[in-house]
Structures are given as structure tokens and as C-alpha cells.
């Protein structure tokens, strides 16, 4: 998908008729407890990895919004702002909006979100380079790719 960068967005502006999908990564940040802090750093990196894979697959139809960061623990309070983000694309609204997150708190407000929540139980902590993480990422990414394709078909 297209990244939030000059060159990609120039292409988007030119090819708008073909690009009808928005993908927003929702990334919580923990700031108080040390262990959670490093964990949230890991989750953020993991999320970026997924965004990159999805980008490669679908760069001709999806725009990748900049990461949406928020202080962890209060996803409900963020719903309105996330919806504002989505609604702010007024020039040409997207037909499909995907919100990708490892934060399960979003599930409680899933129905209030004006986009499809792609929630996955992430890995709590780990090493991005390890083969375990890599196979996890590959499997999950396949799943996400299929979900997006299915949404387009209906």
C-alpha cells in the first residue's frame, strides 16, 4: 500500500479512482511500568512489520495512514478521535477502512468504530529476528491478507 510519504501520496492523488482502502495501525504506548514499556516497544515494532508486509502486497489499492499512537489502557476514549481521522478524508472517502491493532481493548468498542477492526493477539515480548517471531508474522500476515481480499470481494 502507499505509505504516508510524498512520492506515494503523489501517486495516490493521481490514481485515486483505484485506491479505495485505508489502513490505520493503532499502537498503544505504555509509559509507566518498565516491563510494559519495553513490551509496548516490541508491539510497535511488530505492528510496523505487519504494515510493511501488507504494504508490499497491496500497494496499488491501500493507503497506509501514519501510525496512530495513544496512551495504553483507555482505548474507549480514543474511539472518537480515530473516527475523526477516518472522517477527515472528505475529498474522497475510502470504501474500506481497516484498523489494525494488537490491543484487545479495542474489541469492546468495535461496533462504534467506523472501520473494520483487525485485532490479533500479538506476542507479548520477544525478538523480531527470531525464527519463532518470523513464522508468527508470516502466518498472521497471510491471515490479514486473506481478510482484506475477502472484504474486497463482497
**Site for other proteins contains 18 (CB under 8 A):** yes
Looking at beta carbons only, is 44 or 145 nearer to other proteins?
A: 145
3 burial level (CB within 10 Å; 0-12, 13-18, 19+): middle
How far is CA 27 from each of CA 17, 43, 121, 124, 127, rounded to the nearest angstrom? 29, 8, 13, 14, 18
Q: Which of residues 26-65 bind other proteins (CB under 8 A)?
A: 56-61
CB 62 within 8 A of CB 2: yes
**Site for other proteins contains 151 (CB under 8 A):** no
Q: Which of 3, 11, 67, 79 binds other proteins (CB under 8 A)?
A: 11
Q: Which of 16, 104, 142, 149 binds other proteins (CB under 8 A)?
A: 149
CA distance 68 to 150: 25
Least CB distance to other proteins at residue 135 (A): 14
**Site for other proteins contains 3 (CB under 8 A):** no
Stretch of 10-18, 81-89, 94-102, 111-119 lying at the interface with other proteins (CB under 8 A): 10-18
Looking at beta carbons only, is 88 or 153 nearer to other proteins?
A: 153
**Site for other proteins contains 141 (CB under 8 A):** no
Q: Helix and strand tally (H, E) in the chain?
A: 4, 5
Looking at beta carbons only, is 63 or 75 nearer to other proteins?
A: 63
CB < 8 Å & 24+ apart, contacts of 6-13: 8/59, 9/63, 12/63
| Helical residues (DSSP H) of the chain, grouped into ranges | 6-14, 34-58, 75-87, 131-153
Residues near other proteins (CB under 8 A) are 11, 15, 18-19, 56-61, 149, 152
Amino acid at each position: 500500500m502507499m505509505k504516508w510519504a510524498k512520492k506515494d501520496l503523489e501517486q495516490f492523488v493521481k490514481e485515486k479512482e483505484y485506491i479505495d482502502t485505508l489502513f490505520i495501525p493503532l499502537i498503544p504506548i505504555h509509559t509507566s511500568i518498565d516491563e510494559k514499556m519495553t513490551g509496548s516497544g516490541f508491539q510497535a515494532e511488530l505492528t510496523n512489520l505487519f504494515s510493511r508486509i501488507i504494504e508490499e502486497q497491496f500497494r496499488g489499492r491501500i493507503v497506509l495512514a501514519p501510525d496512530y499512537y495513544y496512551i495504553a489502557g483507555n482505548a474507549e476514549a480514543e474511539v472518537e478521535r480515530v473516527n475523526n481521522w477516518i472522517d477527515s478524508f472528505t475529498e474522497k472517502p475510502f470504501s474500506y477502512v481497516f484498523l489494525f491493532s494488537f490491543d484487545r481493548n479495542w474489541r469492546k468498542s468495535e461496533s462504534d468504530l467506523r472501520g473494520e477492526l483487525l485485532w490479533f493477539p500479538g506476542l507479548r515480548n520477544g525478538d523480531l529476528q527470531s525464527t519463532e517471531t518470523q513464522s508468527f508474522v508470516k502466518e498472521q500476515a497471510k491471515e490479514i491478507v486473506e481478510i482484506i481480499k475477502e472484504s474486497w470481494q463482497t
